[in-house]
Chains A and B, each alone.
Chain A
Amino acid sequence: MSDLPVTDPRLADIEAQRPYLMRYAMAQLRDSLLAEEAVQEALLAAVEGLASFQGHSTLRTWLTSILRFKIADQQRRVVQERSRMETGDADSQDDEAWLDALFDETGHWRDPPQAWANPEAALEQRRFWETFERCLERLPARGGRVFFKREVMGEDTDDICRAEGISASNCWVILHRARLGLRSCLELHWFGTGTADGA
């Protein structure tokens, strides 16, 4: 960016969005090198295209939409690479086996979900978000990515499956596993006995 004339005050505003964009890219790519690359490409594209930014949306929304394209490019490359090495079915069998372990032979919870004390209050606590982040990071890579696209971006499940190169039912299993994994991690590390108040 140093070659470009630093006359537009919005350049600093763009740079200020970098941490947010990094977090956004990390959640989907789960690889800091790939994420940095995508963010860098997005910021460069934004600076070059700043004239076309009309201010109808917020700067962050505009930058995020550019970043989405860059992330999609990265993911296409990654998926192509991965599909040469493994098949989606093997992964899904692994997810099914993981789910099996959560329930006994009659289909009852081995580790029954507890009533969480005052979850709304947790949302206001910084330490809760640290726990949430750690739990997200522990999800299997693909589970975390699919969960993010579905729950945060609200992307259509069919589109997500297509991008991941897997069937709809495998996609559901992956999402289900991610939710169960996140649930049990939060229960263990936050909502469990004695930690519900974050103390």
Chain B
Amino acid sequence: MAPEDDLNCRQASRLLSLAGERALTEGEVRALRLHLDECLMCVNFESQLRFLHKAAKRYFHG
């Protein structure tokens, strides 16, 4: 099992979303990478965020 200081999905998804608002710190990026290496669900969430961004732009700007 993951050590206690590892991110869980709730924390990882929050950071993935937050990355759209501000630059993540080095520590955040490192922790996130470790989590994404092992969590396909959060990898899926990351690509979905990118898709939402693209779709939202397309919806309004054609």
Contact = CB atoms under 8 A, between A and B. Distances in A.
Given A157-B22, A172-B21, A175-B20, A113 B48 contact: yes
A53 interface: no
Interface residues of B, number: 30
Nearest to A160: B21
| Dominant SS among interface residues on chain B | helix
Contact of B57 (A115, A151, A176): A151
Interface residues of A, number: 37
Contacts, number: 85
A47 to B, nearest CB: 24
B9 A152 contact: no
A179 B19 CA distance: 13
Interface of B: 8-11, 13-14, 17-18, 20-22, 40-42, 44-45, 47-49, 51-61
Interface of A: 23-24, 27, 99, 102-103, 106-109, 112-116, 119, 123, 129, 132-133, 136, 147-148, 150-152, 157, 171-172, 175-176, 179-180, 182-183, 186-187
